[in-house]
Amino acid sequence: MVIAPSVLSADLTRLADQVAQVTEGGADWLHVDVMDGRFVPNLTFGTKMIAALRGLTDVPLDVHLMVVQPEHYIEPFADAGATVFTFHPEATVHVQRHLDAARQRGMRAGLALNPATPLAHAEEAFDDLDLLLIMTVNPGFAGQQYLPGATAKIARAHRLRLERNPAVRLEVDGGISRETIVAARRAGADTFVAGSAVFCAGDPAAAVRELRRMCLPVV
């Protein structure tokens, strides 16, 4: 199981302190949302943020690209220190080619699916994936509420990976909190992105530990 706090919700004026707090709490990865203002209606981070985080910690950097033509970011993000390179299949044409290029640059390759994007968009490339990210909100902004219908989609994705490629990590992102993480875990997710639930808590380290505690008992 992986807990990946999203720096989109961090206090960037205290970035070093916030990273230290969540890693002290046992965060496995740091999640970095990259938005270009075109694929989603927001503009966020780029190579400088990835490089800055790499200078602060050695935990894996889980980079989620909500951008048009993500292939243009493969080399610069690899050079900046990204560990996981995840993009949306709707944002480009040659999906398998870009997954392979990300792996060739030493990153793990992932696909992300919006709430209304069918699993079929990832199915043909499933053998080339290291990670499948199921969005549990419509992407673009932090602090949104988990969409209840996402749980059934997570379960379908879990069945697909058991059939096709059990080594693929199944990640969820959007509205993940101590109230929603249990349902996502029971549906089969093993990697959890949490922003507001961690960085807006009074004690981010304790929030990470609590998220892990909440989703460990799967019954």
The catalytic residues are: 33, 173
Instruction: Give the integer Cα–Cα distance in Å for 91 and 80.
Output: 22
Cα distance between residue 174 and residue 176, in whole Å: 5
Partners of residue 66 on adjacent β-strands: 35
Secondary structure of residue 27 in the 3-state scheme: coil
Nearest to 177 by CA among 18, 53, 6, 11: 6
Q: How far is CA 5 from CA 14, 90, 99, 129, 161, in A?
A: 15, 25, 24, 22, 24
Amino acid at 137: V
Per-residue DSSP letters for 77-126? HHHHT-SEEEE-GGG-S-HHHHHHHHHHTT-EEEEEE-TTS-THHHHTTG
Q: Which of 59, 58, 30, 60 is nearest to 45 (CA)?
A: 30
